[in-house]
Structure 1
Amino acid sequence: MNRPFAAVAGFSVRTPDWVLAAAAFAVAVVVLLVCYWRTVQSLVWAWAHDGTYQYAFLIFPLSLWVASGLRHQLQASEPVPSIWGLAAVTALVFVWYAGRLLDVNLAQHFAFVALFPALVLACWGWQALWVLAFPLGYLVVFAVPWGDALVGPLQDITAHFAVRALELTGTPVLLNGREIITPSAVWMVADACSGVKFFIACTALGCLYAYLMYRRWWKRVVFVALAAVVPVVANGLRVYFTVLIGETWGPEYATGTDHLIFGWQFFGTVLLLLLLVGWFFRDPPVMSEHSLARGNMPATARTMVWPAAVALLIAGPALAVGLAAPVPPETVQLTAPTIAGWNGPQAAADGWRPIFRGAAGQVRVSYQSAASGDVVELFHAIYTGKPRRGHTLITYGNDLYDPARAQILSRTRRQLDLASGWSTTAAELRLAGASGSRLVWYWYCVDRHCTRSPVLAKLLQAWAVLRGQLPRSSVWALSSPVGGDDADRVRTKLHVFAQALPVPGTPEVQAQQSPDLAGSQP
């Protein structure tokens, strides 16, 4: 049997080469798991504690299963370690280190998962990376918890879709942000109603199904597009039918356990129909022929790439050891400012309670307009030094409202003119909860730079840390209840209050801090 024929037939013709390469890759994976075990724990915690990502427990096994089916194609070419793989490992270790330095879990999770294809390139070469492109890409895309940003847009799409469907079928309906108002009830399209769980899980399954069932690229693209669009439409229909059932037979038939059962049955039926439709258009399996590839890298140079990759993996956690050293907590004694034209500060009510854990100092007070008697609540929290676990301004769990007590009706942005000619863009939240509706304006400040974007705030913190500085990061938030249709009047009131608020970095604000922080930017 000649060598090309043996390779096409799937026999291992380079067993010694692949044994060494597989052993090198296995060692690298073990080092990766051991050295980045804290990141592994964080990733698994995100899968287990957020229902959106529980499907991710299947992604690694599914990727490994698909990769195992491609082992004969891998054996058709010899492993050729690539120096570009070392470059990729270096870049990803740096991303992980930056994420660890700034306590950004998403960066650490992405870098950890992306190191698997980088190690394939470093240990086995470009040919192996191309053969394993789908399972490795599938791993990177769906094993990382990235879908939180989709919740809000999907809520808005679902609410508008359901309202339009209700209008077309003759049901009287009004849309107030994410509230659907009908004659019998007010229906809230909450976070759990966004359909993000079904969207991501269906898209993940659709990608795998398209890869296994189709050979033509356009069929794969069409099916993946359907797998992404169908759950969005299905979720809109689910909300529409839920409201319609409540309007026809009463809200008690559209809520509680019946609501959950109907949702799972509806999504299960839609998914089954999608897979059945895709089955009728499947392509017959084709036995692929594999060309015999040889590398031109000398054997000695190849074996040098493997220990270099392992050394790079160890370098990241080794450099991060100093980051784990305990940092004594710093306490900042904040005093609520005196606002011209407003009486206060006074103790704030419990209707609105932002959550910012680990702050060096925070204050939540209320003020009353001396002219109109209107009430505005102020929240201010400050974080000192570089972000670290348990003391991070932008992190999971820190929010401008308590999700257990309120839901977002809508969000937008507002231009603010502050004192001394300062201006910034604030984010606006319209909240609905047991205590009624309210508006919240908020923005973040890192040193003397203010922004409404948490991403930009993170980047400003990163830039300060990379320059060797210890940033002062803070969040400012204003809130006031909204009754009836007076949202515009409340916005005017918040703007007037903001114009009288001392600007970050001015002596008025610095005087609120403890003496050891005087002269620093909150």
Structure 2
Amino acid sequence: MSAGQAALAAARACAVMPIRNAPRLGPPLLLAALGAIAVLYHATFWSMLQLWSRSQTFAHGYAIVPICAWLVWRQRGALAAAEQRPSIAGLVLIGLLGAAWLLADAANVQVVGQYAATALLPAAVLAICGWRYARAIAFPLGYLMLAVPFGEVFVPPLIEFTARFTVGALQWTGVPVFRENNNFSIPSGNWSVVEACSGLRYVIASLALGALYAHLNYRSARRRLLFIAVALLLPILANGVRAYLIVMLGHWSGMRLAAGVDHLLYGWFFFGLVSLLLYWVGGFWRDGPAPPDAPAVAAPRWPDMRAASAAAAAACVALAALWPWLAVALPAAPTRPAPGAALAVAAAPGWRAVDTTAAEWRAPHAGAPLQLIQRYQGAPGFVGLQLAWYRRQGKDAELLAHVAPARFDGWSPVADGARSVRVGARALALRQSVWQNGAARLLVWRWYRQGGVDTASAFAVKLRLAGARLTRGAEDGADIIVSAPYGEHEPEPQAALGAFLADMLPAIDKALDDVRGH
């Protein structure tokens, strides 16, 4: 064979042989960066793990991370063939998420900080390995967000739906029922729809399983979204049916069945049956097997991005580390009021302070704020005043820290909503709620004063608190509550509360201004 023929044969062989790229540093650098982020935000991730362990509703979080790892492993072929080109968009996203985490940390909004810290992981993938790499594992990166414990905000509407559905089904099937709030009575006994009956754990579990099933069994985006929507809505309806059947089991058995442990066992059995039915039916619309892989061809020769990947990984870790450092740099202010500070509200003309009773409703507060609980009597009737003031606010010692529901000696909430009232030339936005204890009712007006600004919005309180902490401004906050009792068949005493505020609000303002300046 001549030299020319040999060269031609070698060229033809090269056309079908894979071309070996230079070793790519993206994956090992990415793993190192993800490990660094986990260490930098370990407190946030640890808080997630604690919630997984403490609450059955969020115990699925233990399975999310291994599932995501398995899904990424399934895509190892696509990842090996994907171009790795660092993206500046990923670094920008890390900066925005880090700022959101810092804001959430300053305002003590745990769930926002958990979402921001978790989202840093997909952002690091984008920053170090680029768009094509991230797109190949887009679903597991998004699925990771289900590890964040979230959903308790939906408990009240889910309880309301379950109670309405159960009562409506009982009436439709001819069972006499009397409903009062989330409690109802039938001839065989009394029932109550509580937090455990909301079905939130079923909804979250069904969403996690449904999203995974849709990803693995459908290729059409429309079918995937439709199945996820059904997986999200079906357990809500099924939970209503479950609650109705539990009540009927108790009714038919003379309250011997479905009233103890079997209540919970039946709930999980019913949820499992509904889930199996959902996936069995969904299997009829499964897409066919994926098309066969294309014949092996020469691997594309990507440009050598090792230096760029190293620089992106370093920038990623440095940018992610900035925000925890800033959080530590913020001064840790004491949350207890200064010694000698006290709340004192002088009674205005026409009102006199009277003794409080042990059975009165009181709002719980986290930490050790300055408090005033006083009852006043005037021409419009009796009005209660509760003040709680924090000089500084920290975790578990702030206006909106999570505490047990405000129930005291049999009081339970009946209604709640936003309201605006005028006190002289001043407009007050507040929350109006009604509490009940037997035949006695209580009308409650409540608002907050954060950094000297009145608001009824929890979001505004958190935002102003975060701004104050980041700028070293005034963190003081007050919870202001006025309430008036009335009978079950009496009109709401809104006029009494309005008259009380018209006369007493200047004294309340002075009391809060005095402790601020103490």
* Residue of structure 1 equivalent to 2:398: 392
* Residue of structure 2 equivalent to 1:10: none
With over 3 angstroms needed to count, the CA separation of the structure-2 counterparts of 1:517 and 1:217, relative to structure 1, is: closer
Moved more, 59-68 or 466-475: 466-475
Q: 1:278 aligns with which of 282, 288, 291?
A: 282
Deviation at 1:423, TM superposition (A): 2.3
Q: Is the 8 A contact 2:159 2:193 kept in 1?
A: yes
Deviation at 1:200, TM superposition (A): 1.2
Q: Does 1:301 align with 2:308?
A: yes
* Residue of structure 2 equivalent to 1:314: 321
Q: Is the 8 A contact 1:80 1:295 kept in 2?
A: no
Q: Is the 8 A contact 1:14 1:78 kept in 2?
A: no
Deviation at 1:181, TM superposition (A): 4.2
Q: Is the 8 A contact 1:336 1:345 kept in 2?
A: no
* Residue of structure 2 equivalent to 1:80: 85
Q: Does 1:343 align with 2:342?
A: no
With over 3 angstroms needed to count, the CA separation of the structure-2 counterparts of 1:173 and 1:425, relative to structure 1, is: farther
Deviation string 1:222-249 (CA, Å, 9 cap, x unpaired) is 2111101111101111222233334444
Q: Is the 8 A contact 2:445 2:481 kept in 1?
A: yes
* Residue of structure 1 equivalent to 2:54: 49
Secondary structure in 2 matching 1:389? coil
Normalising by structure 1, we get a TM-score of 0.86
Q: Does 1:358 align with 2:361?
A: no
Residue identity matched to 1:150: F
Q: Provide the C-alpha distance between the structure 1 equivalents of 2:37 and 2:438, rounded to a whole number of angstroms.
A: 48
Deviation at 1:354, TM superposition (A): 1.9
Q: Which has the larger radius of gyration?
A: 2
* Residue of structure 2 equivalent to 1:25: 30
Deviation string 1:390-428 (CA, Å, 9 cap, x unpaired) is 3322222275x049965544322333333x422223223
Secondary structure in 2 matching 1:380? strand
With over 3 angstroms needed to count, the CA separation of the structure-2 counterparts of 1:183 and 1:102, relative to structure 1, is: same
The CA RMSD over aligned residues, in Å, is: 3.1
Q: Provide the C-alpha distance between the structure 1 equivalents of 2:476 and 2:221, rounded to a whole number of angstroms.
A: 51
1:141-290 aligned within 5 A: 142-287=146-291, 289=293
With over 3 angstroms needed to count, the CA separation of the structure-2 counterparts of 1:319 and 1:465, relative to structure 1, is: closer
Q: Provide the C-alpha distance between the structure 1 equivalents of 2:301 and 2:480, rounded to a whole number of angstroms.
A: 61
Deviation string 1:437-471 (CA, Å, 9 cap, x unpaired) is 54433222223432222112212333444554213
Residue identity matched to 2:517: A
Q: Does 1:476 align with 2:480?
A: yes
1:306-455 aligned within 5 A: 306-323=313-330, 325=332, 327=334, 329-331=336-338, 332-367=341-376, 369-371=377-379, 374-385=381-392, 387-397=393-403, 401-402=406-407, 407-418=412-423, 420-431=424-435, 438-455=442-459
Identity of aligned residues (%): 31
Secondary structure in 1 matching 2:132? helix
Q: Provide the C-alpha distance between the structure 1 equivalents of 2:409 and 2:359, rounded to a whole number of angstroms.
A: 13
* Residue of structure 2 equivalent to 1:105: 110
Q: Is the 8 A contact 1:356 1:398 kept in 2?
A: no
Deviation at 1:56, TM superposition (A): 1.4
Residue identity matched to 2:448: Y
Deviation at 1:308, TM superposition (A): 0.8
Q: Is the 8 A contact 1:199 1:228 kept in 2?
A: yes
Q: Provide the C-alpha distance between the structure 1 equivalents of 2:484 and 2:63, rounded to a whole number of angstroms.
A: 45
Q: Provide the C-alpha distance between the structure 2 equivalents of 1:333 and 1:131, rounded to a whole number of angstroms.
A: 61
* Residue of structure 1 equivalent to 2:461: 457
Deviation string 1:334-361 (CA, Å, 9 cap, x unpaired) is 1245255443253342442322112431
Secondary structure in 2 matching 1:382? strand
Aligned residues: 501
Residue identity matched to 1:301: A
* Residue of structure 2 equivalent to 1:71: 76
Q: Is the 8 A contact 1:104 1:395 kept in 2?
A: no
Deviation at 1:333, TM superposition (A): 1.5
Q: Is the 8 A contact 1:360 1:383 kept in 2?
A: yes
Deviation string 1:296-331 (CA, Å, 9 cap, x unpaired) is 685433321111111112222222222364636334
Secondary structure in 1 matching 2:28? helix
Deviation string 1:280-310 (CA, Å, 9 cap, x unpaired) is 3222331465897776685433321111111
Secondary structure in 1 matching 2:386? strand
Normalising by structure 2, we get a TM-score of 0.87
Secondary structure in 1 matching 2:157? helix
Secondary structure in 2 matching 1:489? coil
With over 3 angstroms needed to count, the CA separation of the structure-2 counterparts of 1:485 and 1:262, relative to structure 1, is: farther
* Residue of structure 2 equivalent to 1:517: 516
Deviation at 1:278, TM superposition (A): 1.7
With over 3 angstroms needed to count, the CA separation of the structure-2 counterparts of 1:353 and 1:297, relative to structure 1, is: farther
Secondary structure in 1 matching 2:184? strand
Deviation at 1:203, TM superposition (A): 1.0
Unaligned segments of structure 1, at least 5 residues: 8-12
Residue identity matched to 1:396: H
Q: Provide the C-alpha distance between the structure 1 equivalents of 2:395 and 2:15, rounded to a whole number of angstroms.
A: 56
Deviation at 1:108, TM superposition (A): 1.4
Deviation at 1:125, TM superposition (A): 0.6
* Residue of structure 2 equivalent to 1:116: 121
With over 3 angstroms needed to count, the CA separation of the structure-2 counterparts of 1:68 and 1:393, relative to structure 1, is: same
